[in-house]
Each structure stands twice: as structure tokens, then as C-alpha cells.
Structure 1
């Protein structure tokens, strides 16, 4: 047997991971049931406020984003992107961009790079949002981009082809097979 020591910081980090993994609201730590559980299982744990939980989750996001950037730099030669746009019930336009690549151990990786609001479903706006996302992540070697069959997707890909021609290693075979 070994001795165990309570660690407030580690427990707060674990709470943040629980909220992210299980998609709980930040307020879950405010509940009476959670308080009873902590009083029974971890009586030394000082339950953080909703604002502190929110801050802990954001710090977790920042750290994980840095880890993913390192993974992309070290393990990735080329990425294949998939993207799609939707409109929410509140009439807000959204776009999701996912990167797919094979790492050095030949394992397929799939990472959501961005889930963001966009100003419209116009092709140039979509292309600019994809370009900004690639720049933010430091991705400059793209193999393919898979999109739906909307006309705006053709415009977005045409916009990106023009931009990527100026990138040192932007596309394979002069962007001939970029659009999927």
C-alpha cells in the first residue's frame, strides 16, 4: 500500500476534464448532489465557483491546443481536410473543419480544428475562414479538401487554390486533386 495525498489543483483539473469529456455545464459543480459526493469522497476538496471552473476548462483547452499543434508539426506530413457548413435554429451560420492525417506510427488521426460561426455561406467567406484556420494552426501542407456539392464549395476551393499557390509546399500536383 502507498500513502495518498490530496491535491486540490489536480482535483480541479480532473473536474475540468470531467466537464469537457462528459459535456456537463460549468454549473454542475454548484449542485447539491455534487457537493454531497465531494463531502463524502473528498472532504478536503474546496468546490470552485462556476467562473473558476470555466477558467479551468479554458486553460485545459489552451494546453490541449498547444499539444495538438506540436502533434501536427511533429507527426504530420500532409493533412486532408473535411469541412461542412450548417445553419442553427437561431439562424447562425457555422462551419466545422476537421483534419485527417496519418502519424509516424501509421495511425489515422482525426482532429477537429475549428467549429466556428461564419458570416455567410458564400464561397469566398468559407474559403477565407478555412485559410484563417490553416494559418492559425500553422498548417501549410494540404493534400485534399472534402466538401459538399454546393456551388459555394467550388468557389471556396477556387479561392484556396489561388492562395495555396503562394505557399512553399501548399498542395500536391499543383492543386489538381485538392477538391474532393
Structure 2
């Protein structure tokens, strides 16, 4: 099924920018944006943290196949790499929290229900 679009070049620059950035090959959209491996690793670690997945989630076969399908240039990570990335995120967020708490003027009260 082919789709054809007609645009007036003088009035639709957004579509022209999109067409220049992405183009269609064999009915697949191919993006020309390079993969940032550090961002990919952080996103996998954040997914594991947010959904309380085991570290081995990074090594699940279908998960790795999906990532490779979406971008063939991706270097999938091991559970040990995911663990070290999560520790880095934890330390970064801990420092951010310390900084935020130090910047509070006056007193504050923390309570928890365990």
C-alpha cells in the first residue's frame, strides 16, 4: 500500500525538515539520528528501576532483539553493566537530594512509615 503526499514547499517547512531527516526505504522509516550509547544504557537502567525488574532484564533475549531491531547499532548491555549504571544513577540522585536539602532555608521534617 503506497501513500503519496503533496506539499506546497512555500508553506510547509516542518514537513520538508522531516523529509530531509527521515526517508522511506521499502516502506520502513529510517532515521538518521545517531545512537547515543550512554543515553541508551541509562534508559535501560531507569526502566529496570521504575518497574522493579531484575538486573537480568537487560539480558532477556526478546528485549535485546527488540533493541537491535529498533537500532542495529545498539550495543546491548549485560546485567552487570545495568547494575553498575543503576548504582551510578543512585549516587547521582543521592547527591542531588543532598544538594536540594541543603538549599532549604529553615527547618523541615522527614517522617516515614515502615
TM-score range, shorter chain: 0.5 to 0.7
How far 1:24 moved relative to its partner? 1.1
Of residues 78, 87, 109, the one that matches 1:49 is 78
Give the superposition deviation at 1:83. 3.2
- Provide the C-alpha distance between the structure 1 equivalents of 2:70 and 2:56, rounded to a whole number of angstroms: 20
Partner of 1:73: 102
Which structure 1 residue ranges, 4+ long, deviate > 3 Å from structure 2? none
Q: Relative contact order (C-alpha < 8 Å, sep 6+): which is higher?
A: 2
Q: Does 1:27 align with 2:56?
A: yes
Aligned to 1:58: 87
Unaligned runs of 5+ in 2: 1-17, 22-31
DSSP-derived class of the 2:111 partner: strand
- Structure 1 or 2: more helix by fraction: 2
* Closer/same/farther in 2, CA of residues 56 and 76 from structure 1, 3 Å limit: farther
- Count of residues in Structure 1 that have an aligned counterpart in Structure 2: 85
- The alignment partner of 2:112 has SS state of strand
TM-score by length of 1: 0.44
Structure 1 pair 28–76 and aligned structure 2 pair: CA distance change class (3 A): farther
